[in-house]
Structure 1
Amino acid sequence: MAENNTAQTPPKKGKLKLIITVVVITLLAIGLSVAGTLWFLKDDGASAVDESSSEPAAPEFQPSIYSDIQKPLRTTVKAQGRQRYAQIYLSFEAKDPAALAGAEKHMPLILNQLNMLLGSTDFVELQAPEGRLALSNKMLEAVNQMLEQEGEPAIARVLFRNFVVQ
C-alpha cells in the first residue's frame, strides 16, 4: 500500500470568527459606556430632585403685558431763555392685566399728570440718558400713586417707545 506522506494541514480558522469576536467586544464596550453614562446622569437628576423638593417652589414665570398709549405726550420744557419741545410715546408694562385696565380707565388723569411732570423737567436733563431714566422713574411713581388713589393695582414700568427733544 501506498503511504500517504503528505502532512495533513490543520483546517484554517476563518477570519469570520475573528470579525465576530471584534464586533461583539466593540458592542459590549459601547453598551457599557452608555449604561455607565445613564447611571451617572440618573444619580445627578435624583439628587437635584431631592434638593428642589426640600426648597419651597419658585413662583411661575409670568410674561409681561404691555399697553401702548397711542397719542404722544407733547409739551414745552424748561430751557435757558429758549422755548424747547419734548414729544414722548409711552408704553406701560405690567404683570397683571387688571393694572393695565385700571390705567386705561383713568388715562385722562394719568396723561394730565405725566404732561405736567414732563413740562416741569429741565431740557438739559432730558438730553442725558440718566435724566431720561430718572424721568421714567418719576413717571412710574406718579402713575402708581394715581392708580393707588383710585384703588387699582400698580404697573411695573413706564417705557419710552420714542423720545424727541428739540
Structure 2
Amino acid sequence: MAEEQAQGGEDSGEKKSSKLKLIIIAVLALVIVGGGGAAAALFLMGGDEPAAEEAAAPSEPVKADAIYTKVRTMGGKPMFVVTLQSQDNRSHYMQLYVEAKSRDQAVADALTLHMPLIVSRLNSLYSTQDFRTLQSMEGKLALRESSVDLVREIMQEKIGKPGVETILFTNMVMQ
C-alpha cells in the first residue's frame, strides 16, 4: 500500500511539472509573438525618425493670453461720439466703441494710465473722418489701422515699446 501511494505521488508530481512546463512555454511564446508584433509595428510606422525630426524642429513660442483694455472717454463713457464731415451739408454722427488688445500687463496698465492722451488723440482722428469714406469696408479698415498706428505711437513715446497688438471696434454706428 505504501508502494501504491509512492507511485501515485510520483504520477501527480510528473503531471504538475508537465503542466508547469506547458504554462511556461505558452507564456514565452506569447512574449515572443507580442515582441515581434511590437517590433513590426515600430518598423512599419517609421520608428524614431519623426520623433527625432520633432525634437530637432524649433518649437513655436507660446503666446501669452490676450488682454483687452476698453478705451474710455473722460466721463467714463465706453464710446466715442463724433460729428463726421460730409459733403451733403447734413449732420452725420458716429458712435464707436474701442478696445485695445495687448499681451503684456505692463502695456495694459500704461494704456489705463495714459487714457486721457489716447482718448484725446483718437477723438481728433475720428472727428476728421469723412462720412462717405467710412460707409465702405475699406474706409473702416483704414480707420482701424490709423487708430492702431496712433496708439502704438503714443505707447512708444510713453513706455518705449508699441505694445498694442491691435485696436478693435466692438460697435460702430453711423447716421
Distance 2:54 2:91 in 1: 64
Superposition TM-score, scaled by structure 1 size: 0.72
1:156 matched to 2:165? The reply is yes
Count of paired positions: 138
1:89 matched to 2:93? The reply is no
Q: Which residue of 2 aligns with 1:51?
A: 56
Distance 2:155 2:94 in 1: 25
Deviation at 1:134, TM superposition (A): 0.5
1:98 matched to 2:106? The reply is yes
In the alignment, is the contact (CA less than 8 A) between 1:98 and 1:153 conserved in 2? no
Q: Which residue of 2 aligns with 1:17?
A: none
TM-superposition CA deviations, 1:120-140 (whole Å, max 9, x none): 011111111111111011011
Deviation at 1:152, TM superposition (A): 4.9
Query: SS of the residue aligned with 1:156?
Result: strand
Percent of pairs with identical residues: 28
Distance 2:156 2:48 in 1: 51
Which stretches in structure 1 are left out of the alignment for 5+ residues? Answer: 1-23
Q: Which residue of 1 aligns with 2:86?
A: 79
Over the residues paired in the alignment, what is the CA RMSD in angstroms? 2.5
Aligned 1:1-166 pairs, distance under 5 A: 28=33, 32-39=36-43, 40-49=45-54, 51-52=56-57, 55=58, 57-70=59-72, 71-80=78-87, 81-154=89-162, 155-166=164-175
Q: Which residue of 2 aligns with 1:18?
A: none
Superposition TM-score, scaled by structure 2 size: 0.68
In the alignment, is the contact (CA less than 8 A) between 1:74 and 1:87 conserved in 2? yes
Distance 2:159 2:55 in 1: 43
Deviation at 1:43, TM superposition (A): 2.1
Q: Which runs of 4+ in 1 moved over 6 A?
A: none
Which stretches in structure 2 are left out of the alignment for 5+ residues? Answer: 1-28, 73-77
In the alignment, is the contact (CA less than 8 A) between 1:99 and 1:152 conserved in 2? no
